[in-house]
Amino acid sequence: MTDLNKTEQPDTLIEFPCDFELKAMGKHCDEFIDLVFSITQKHVPDVSREAIRLNASKGSRFVSVKIKFYATHIQQIHGIYGELNEHPDVLMTL
């Protein structure tokens, strides 16, 4: 016997919908911050720039960009991380 919920949603420990915060690291510049925001906004159109938090490295050469948003399904998160991880300016995602 198959569980219908399992066929509808991929295996995940995250319960949707939920608040979710992603983190991406790269060189500290406005273009990188805009890149992370624009990729996130493609998958979560109502995300706000006010949801961004920045944390510069000790020498301010790198920055971590955190964006909190309301996620409705796992495909949103996979889409965002997939695009971020493919971009050459993104050094790491969490």
The 10s digit of each residue's pLDDT in 28-80 is 999 999 999 999 999 999 999 999 999 999 999 999 999 999 999 999 999 99
Please report, for residues 16, 63, 69, the alpha-carbon distance to residue 54 in angstroms, rounded to integers and kept in the order given.
26, 7, 15
Over residues 9-21, mean pLDDT: 85
How many domains does one find in the chain? Answer: 1
Does the residue 71 lie in any domain?
yes
10 vs 34: which has the higher pLDDT: 34
**Residue 15 backbone phi and psi in degrees, to 5:** -95, 130
Does the residue 8 lie in any domain?
no
Does the residue 80 lie in any domain?
yes
Does the residue 9 lie in any domain?
no
Q: Which domain holds residue 33?
A: 17-93
Q: What CATH number corresponds to the domain at position 85?
A: 3.30.70.260
Does the residue 4 lie in any domain?
no
User: So what's the pLDDT on residue 8?
Assistant: 55
Does the residue 7 lie in any domain?
no
Confidence (pTM): 0.85
Asked whether the beta carbons of 40 and 2 are under 8 A apart, the reply is no
Looking at residue 62, its amino acid is F
Question: What's the CA gap between 27 and 8, in Å, rounded?
Answer: 39
